[in-house]
Amino acid sequence: MDLPSLEVRAALFELHLKKRGRDATTFDLQKLAVGSDGFSGAEIEQAIVAGLYTAFAQKQQLTTEVLLEEIHSTQPLSVTRAEEVTSIREWAKTRAAPAD
């Protein structure tokens, strides 16, 4: 399983922002996608959830900048557990069917 591409990450941000009642057109989806390189879809969703809590605590609206701060303060599993992810991918090459 590969990590989401730039276009897929932008689409994931759009999807999860809309899911939470936010107008995705007010966010710089491209900047968010670039900033979240190495993030899985679940990690993108959690960055949005954390951003909502941060914005609420600061009594402000969720913005691209708030989300970028959340992204930059998070190390994705693709970084923190890189060796394990690589090992699982190698194992899966001969023992699992691709999902696509």
Cα radius of gyration (the chain): 15
- The rounded distance, in Å, linking the Cα atoms of 6 and 79 is 17
Given this model, what pLDDT does residue 11 score?
97
Per the structure block, which two tokens stand in for 37? 């390189």
Q: CB–CB of 52/88 below 8 Å?
A: no
Report yes or no on 17 lying in a domain: yes
Given this model, what pLDDT does residue 100 score?
64
Report yes or no on 16 lying in a domain: yes
Specify the number of domains making up the chain: 1
For 41-70, give the DSSP string.
HHHHHHHHHHHHHHHHHTTS---HHHHHHH
pLDDT tens series, the chain, 100 aa: 467 899 999 999 999 999 999 999 999 999 999 999 989 999 999 999 999 999 999 999 999 999 999 999 988 777 667 788 778 878 988 888 877 6
CA–chain centroid gap for 21, Å, is 18
Report yes or no on 33 lying in a domain: yes
- The rounded distance, in Å, linking the Cα atoms of 54 and 61 is 9
Report yes or no on 37 lying in a domain: yes
Which residues form the domain of 84? 6-95
Report yes or no on 72 lying in a domain: yes
Domain harbouring 34, CATH code: 1.10.8.60
Report yes or no on 100 lying in a domain: no
